[in-house]
Amino acid sequence: MRRLSALFLLATLLSGCASMQRLAASAIASPRLQFEKATVTALDLDGTTVVLDFTLENPNDIAFRVAGATWRLDVEGSRLGEGELPGGVTLPSRGKAPFAVTVRLRWADLARLTEQVRRQAEVAYRVAGVIRVETPIGVLELPYRHEGRLPVPRLPALRLAGASVDVNSFTELELELTLDVENTNGFMLPGATLRFDVLLNGVPVATGREATLQPLGAGGEARLRLPIRVSLLGAGRALSTIHGSSELRLRGAIRAGGLERPVDLKMEVGKR
C-alpha cells in the first residue's frame, strides 16, 4: 500500500513538473532576429572578410544570454567552410542587442571550384547558420541566412612592352625583357612572384626563372626590366633562329597571396 502511494505521489510530481515546464514555455516568447547589413571589412589577395550584423530583440521581462552561433559558407553552390562563434552577449529584458557573424573566405579555397569560377570577377556566396540564445526553458536556436556577391581581386596585368636579343660572345646570349605592370584593383597589391620560362621561336632558352614584383598602389602602373643571360651551348637550336626577327615568348605563372594566374606573353623581337 505504501509502495502504491509513493508511485502515485511520484507520478503526480512528474505530471506537475511537465505542466510547469509547459506553462514556462508558453510564458517565454522567442527572441526576434533582424538582419541589418553585410559589410566587406577586408579584401586582399589572401581572401576577404564578411561581417553580417544582426539585431536581437527580447520581448520578455527577463534578460537572456547569447550562447554562440554557427556558420556555414557556400560559394557558387559549394561548401567552403563551417564553424562556430562565441557568444557572451547579454540580451536585456524588453531590449535589443547587436550581434555580428564574421566569416573569412580564403581565395586559396576557391581552388576546389572550377577554373571558370576562379576567373570570374565576382562570386556568389551564402552564409547560413543559427544564433543560440539561453533561456530558462533551454537554448533557443534562431536560424539566419544571407546571400550576396563578392568581388574577386585581380592579379597585376602584365604586358610585354619591349624585348631585345643580343649575342654578347661566342658562348652567351643576352635577353632583355621589359614588362608593363598594372594594378586594376581599387586597393594596394602586395608584392607578387613571377615564375617563367623564355622561348625563342618556340625553343626554350631559359627555364625556371623567377622575378619579384614590388607592391603597387591602387590603379598604379610600373615597369619591370628582366635581364636574362643564356648560354648559347644550352640554347641549342635557338642559335639558328636569331638571324632575323624572332618570336619571343614568356610563359609561366604569377602568384600573390592565395591567387595564381597563368602568364603567356608573346612579342616579335630583332637582333640588336
Residue 89 neighbours by CB distance under 10 Å = 17
Residue 220 has pLDDT above 50, yes or no: yes
Kindly state the average pLDDT of the residues 75-81.
88
Euclidean distance between CA atoms 225 and 106, whole angstroms:
32
The percent of residues in the chain predicted with pLDDT above 70, rounded, is 78
Q: Are the C-beta atoms of 222 and 181 separated by less than 8 Å?
A: yes
Tell me how far apart the alpha carbons of residues 196 and 214 are, in angstroms, rounded to a whole number.
Answer: 17
In whole angstroms, give the CA distance from residue 154 to residue 44.
10
pTM of the model: 0.67
Q: Give 247's pLDDT tier (boundaries 50, 70, 90).
A: confident
Phi–psi pair at 108, nearest 5 degrees: -60, -30
CATH class of 157-269: mainly beta
**pLDDT per residue over 37-67, tens digit each?**
999 888 877 888 999 999 999 999 999 999 9
For residues 28-39, give the mean pLDDT: 93
Q: Which residues make up the CATH 2.60.40.1820 domain(s) of the chain? A: 30-151
pLDDT at 173: 73
Asked if 135 and 109 touch (Cβ cutoff 8 Å), the reply is: no
Rounded Cα distance between 190 and 44, Å, is 9
Chain region(s) in the chain for CATH 2.60.40.10: 157-269
Question: pLDDT band at 112, cuts 50/70/90?
Answer: low
CATH 2.60.40.1820 fits 30-151, yes or no: yes
Q: Are 167 and 242 in contact (CB under 8 A)?
A: yes
Average pLDDT, the chain: 82
Q: What is the largest CA-CA distance in the chain?
A: 117
